Structure 1
Amino acid sequence: MARGKRTAGAEGCVLPALGIAAVGFVLISVLGFVAAHPVTSLVGGAAVLGVTIYLLVLWQQRRARETREAWQLGVARSQEIARYHAMGPHEFEHALAFLCARDGCSHAQVTGRAGDLGADVVAYAPDGRKIVLQAKRFSGTNKVTGPDLQRFGGTCYTVHGARVAAVVTTSTFTKQAQQYAAHHGIRLVDLHGLAAWASRTGPAPWH
């Protein structure tokens, strides 16, 4: 009875050996066919290559179409000001970066994080100027204050090298904030300015 029993080790050796033998047999058969029928093999290989290229082109076209449709949807949504009021702070930063890219800026990216020293979005205007935006996703009753502007003003030019510095909010600015911005050349975009920028009925912050 003991002679009829197979161990797990024996099966583990047999199966890989059979697999290797099968692969070797297929490889030998393919090489033999290619050697015996070089013209047929060449035609078949060309056909396979052609089909592969065709499928790759179709996939690239599909990806390009999906990317284009997603961009068009983003452009349409970017003009709906109500969306900005419903966003969280991080989502608002990404929405501003999208607006910059939509309107011709290059390298628009969100940099807002702990220790960002006030730079939430960085982009480059079509004329090459560096744009630094600070995003303030506030409710209508929570205004952007003078101290808010002072913290941004202390870093936007000296630390971040901005040529255009702007604070964009879904709210408004206090008089003190407006005075500070005017004195230090910081552009202010309140909820009305944001609505105009988003809907393309008003200027972007770098204009």
Structure 2
Amino acid sequence: MVVAVLLIVDFVRRHPYWSAVLVLVAVAGVVVLLSARAKQRARQRAEQAERDRVVAVTDTMTGAEFEQWFGRLLEASGFRHVHVRGGSGDRGADVTALAPDGRRVVVQCKRQSLTNRVGSAAIQRFAGTCREVHGGELCAIVTNGLFTAGDGVRLARQLGIVLIDRGALETWAWAGTPPPRMLGR
């Protein structure tokens, strides 16, 4: 290593102009490489954002992938401090965030097959943890499927839990604008 440094110093002393040219070429190469990498990342983000606009992509996802997808949707819609927490021990808070108006958002994500529906039991479990355990000011259950009609939907309405089904989620993903009830309207 010391020998290499001495050889470089000697070359720079004997050939200062060539040394400057080599440094400029090296710097230009690094700039071109970093620029190409940045463009590639931007292109990948744009492609991911385009794929995320179609709710049908969620049909083949795992639950964890659906949570990540929804986290990206929140971020793209102006929500801040989005944290995907899903997994065992999450106590019903798969995603947390701050709404554009600053309220704490707690979301339970339910990725379902098109034939399964989110029922009353899931809504009741979430109702028991959203505000008391997680401090949610805006609580929501999001599914790529549908909710069963009946007591669970009435309970959610009564407790102020926002239910976002496939139709609302599809509109949100395509337009990039959350449903008014996700903004507290």
Normalising by structure 1, we get a TM-score of: 0.76
1:54 matched to 2:16? The reply is no
C-alpha distance in 1 between matches for 2:11 and 2:59: 69
CA RMSD between the two structures: 2.4
Aligned to 2:108: 134
Aligned to 1:193: 168
Residues 52, 148 of structure 1: CA spacing in aligned structure 2 closer, same or farther, 3 A cutoff?
A: same
Q: Are the aligned partners of 1:104 and 1:126 in contact in 2 as well (CA < 8 Å)?
A: yes
Aligned to 1:116: 90
Q: How far apart are residue 32 of structure 1 and its match?
A: 4.7
Consecutive unaligned residues in structure 2, runs of 5 or more: none
Aligned to 2:147: 173
Aligned to 1:206: 182
Over residues 175-198 of structure 1, what are the superposed CA-to-partner deviations in whole Å (9 max), with x where a residue is unaligned?
Answer: 111111111111000111111111
Larger radius of gyration: 1
Q: Are the aligned partners of 1:136 and 1:169 in contact in 2 as well (CA < 8 Å)?
A: yes
Q: SS at 2:146's partner residue?
A: coil
Q: Are the aligned partners of 2:105 and 2:137 in contact in 1 as well (CA < 8 Å)?
A: yes
Identity rate, percent = 34
Residues 130, 33 of structure 1: CA spacing in aligned structure 2 closer, same or farther, 3 A cutoff?
A: same
Q: How far apart are residue 103 of structure 1 and its match?
A: 1.4
Aligned length: 181
Consecutive unaligned residues in structure 1, runs of 5 or more: 1-19
Aligned to 1:105: 79
Q: Are the aligned partners of 2:77 and 2:176 in contact in 1 as well (CA < 8 Å)?
A: no
C-alpha distance in 2 between matches for 1:83 and 1:30: 55
Q: How far apart are residue 125 of structure 1 and its match?
A: 2.3
Q: Are the aligned partners of 2:55 and 2:144 in contact in 1 as well (CA < 8 Å)?
A: no
C-alpha distance in 1 between matches for 2:175 and 2:104: 21
Aligned to 2:60: 86
| Residue identity opposite 1:139 in structure 2 | S
Q: How far apart are residue 121 of structure 1 and its match?
A: 1.3
Q: How far apart are residue 70 of structure 1 and its match?
A: 1.3
Larger relative contact order (Cα-Cα within 8 Å, sequence gap ≥ 6): 2
Q: SS at 1:206's partner residue?
A: helix
Comparing 139-148 and 108-117, the one that deviates more = 139-148
| Residue identity opposite 1:168 in structure 2 | V
Normalising by structure 2, we get a TM-score of: 0.84
Tell me which protein shows more strand as a share of its residues: 2
